[in-house]
């Protein structure tokens, strides 16, 4: 997969890439005021849902196309880039016509290959960045499949958004992070940047900051955070949105660990481990050869292989020595028993010859 950067001109390439804005565009004033505050803090990409997939009917299903001119105002008056969710071809056409800069495919859409294909077809020939949320269910292949469908339509500015996975049992998180899934996505598709959506994972304001930090510690490339001027009064996802001021605080207290530095130190340490393992293997092989010589001797002198007393001594001495060296006795016992078993096996081979 050959991708192009999703970074639009003027966006700081430093980690994390930040996208912020309300769950839903509600009114022109709410959109403009939220965007104004975010822009004053240096946020360059504004998000707002226009078409909202709601779990149950009767919830606020989004302002619809009526909100698109509001996003245009955000672009023109504040110079921000704007992003919104699309769930069908019609949304893609309307968003493109309204000069939306970035679109994302929501979790409830990623689960449906027909819907993703329809969106991908509508995107053919465009070069708009497309962010693909994980499906609601923890199915990595479905996520990868959606990325491939969009890629196969010719889109080259692609990123993934990790927004957690639905579960029946909602205790701490609204959607379980299951970090191993985005980590595996990174392994299988290292060229795809991954953003974290702490708002939909946490479902609660208090969880946004720790989730942002975890995502940074796992080398995620960016964050998409639901931000509202008056979160308690939000028409959708009121419990998980934060004010622009809180977001600013969260971003300023994030600890961004230098990836290069860490990986350099890490590879130096890994080289040491490789060398030590090599020494261990050589020592073990030598020990096995000596043990075979002992086997030969025992055979020639008609002695039994197992000399209980000697084995007992070895175990006791080595285990107490290991303890002095800061290792756990049970661990050392397991290692010695395994080595002894293997030595006995070698000596039995020699006896047979
Ligand atoms: C959203 O970003 O507002 C949204 C609907 O998210 P998700 O698709 O992750 O539920
Ligand atoms: Mn939301």
Pocket of ligand 1 contains residue 107 by CB under 6 Å: yes
Maximum CA pair distance of the chain?
97
Q: Quote the DSSP letter at residue 300.
A: H
Pocket of ligand 1 contains residue 49 by CB under 6 Å: yes
Indicate whether 166 pLDDT > 90: yes
> Whose alpha carbon is nearest atom 10 of ligand 1?
107
Residues in the chain: 353
Work out the average pLDDT over 69-86.
98
Work out the average pLDDT over 110-114.
98
pLDDT at 121: 98
- Which pTM value belongs to this model? 0.76
pLDDT at 57: 86
Ion ligand 2, residues whose Cβ is below 5 A away: 23, 237
Indicate whether 210 pLDDT > 90: yes
Residue to mutate, 49, 106, 110, ligand 1, most ligand atoms under 8 Å from C-beta? 106
pLDDT at 352: 87
> Whose alpha carbon is nearest atom 1 of ligand 1?
23
**Looking at per-residue confidence, does 269 or 76 come out higher?**
76
Which atom of ligand 1 lies nearest, measured to the CA of 237?
3
Work out the average pLDDT over 8-15.
93
pLDDT at 165: 97
Q: How many angstroms separate the alpha carbon of residue 82 from the centre of ligand 2?
A: 16
Closest CA to 16 of 176, 193, 183, 199: 193
Tens digits of residue pLDDT in 226-261: 999 999 999 999 999 999 999 999 999 999 987 666
Mean pLDDT of the chain: 94
pLDDT at 40: 98
**Looking at per-residue confidence, does 74 or 298 come out higher?**
74
Cα separations in angstroms, 288 against 31, 227, 281, 283, 339: 73, 64, 10, 9, 9
């Amino acid at each position: 997969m050959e991708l192009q950067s999703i970074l639009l001109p003027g966006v700081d390439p430093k980690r994390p890439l930040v996208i912020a804005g309300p769950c839903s565009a509600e009114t022109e004033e709410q959109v403009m005021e939220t965007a104004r505050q975010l822009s004053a803090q240096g946020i360059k990409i504004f998000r707002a849902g226009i078409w909202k997939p709601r779990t149950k009917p009767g919830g606020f299903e989004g302002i619809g196309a009526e909100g698109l001119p509001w996003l245009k105002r955000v672009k023109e008056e504040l110079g921000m880039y704007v992003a919104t969710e699309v769930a069908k071809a019609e949304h893609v056409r309307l968003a493109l016509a309204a000069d939306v800069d970035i679109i994302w495919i929501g979790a409830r859409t990623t689960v449906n290959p027909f819907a993703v294909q329809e969106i991908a077809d509508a995107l053919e020939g465009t070069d708009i960045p497309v962010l693909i949320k994980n499906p609601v269910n923890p199915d990595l292949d479905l996520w990868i499949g959606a990325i491939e469908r969009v890629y196969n339509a010719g889109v080259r500015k692609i990123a993934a958004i990790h927004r957690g996975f639905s579960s029946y049992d909602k205790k701490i998180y609204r959607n379980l992070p299951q970090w191993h899934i985005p980590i595996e996505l990174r392994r299988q598709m290292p060229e795809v940047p991954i953003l974290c959506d702490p708002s939909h994972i946490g479902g609660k304001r208090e969880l946004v900051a720790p989730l942002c930090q975890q995502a940074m510690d796992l080398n995620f490339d960016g964050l998409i955070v639901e931000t509202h001027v008056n979160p308690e009064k939000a028409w959708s996802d009121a419990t998980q949105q934060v004010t622009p001021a809180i977001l600013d605080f969260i971003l300023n207290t994030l600890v961004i660990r230098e990836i290069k530095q860490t990986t350099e130190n890490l590879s130096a340490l890994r080289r040491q481990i490789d060398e030590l393992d090599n020494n261990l293997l050589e020592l073990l092989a030598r020990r096995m050869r000596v043990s075979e010589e002992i086997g030969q001797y025992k055979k020639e002198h008609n002695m039994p292989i197992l000399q209980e007393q000697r084995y007992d001594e070895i175990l006791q001495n080595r285990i107490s020595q290991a303890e002095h060296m800061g290792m756990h006795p049970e661990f050392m016992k397991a290692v010695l028993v395994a080595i002894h078993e293997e030595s006995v096996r070698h000596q039995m081979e020699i006896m047979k010859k």
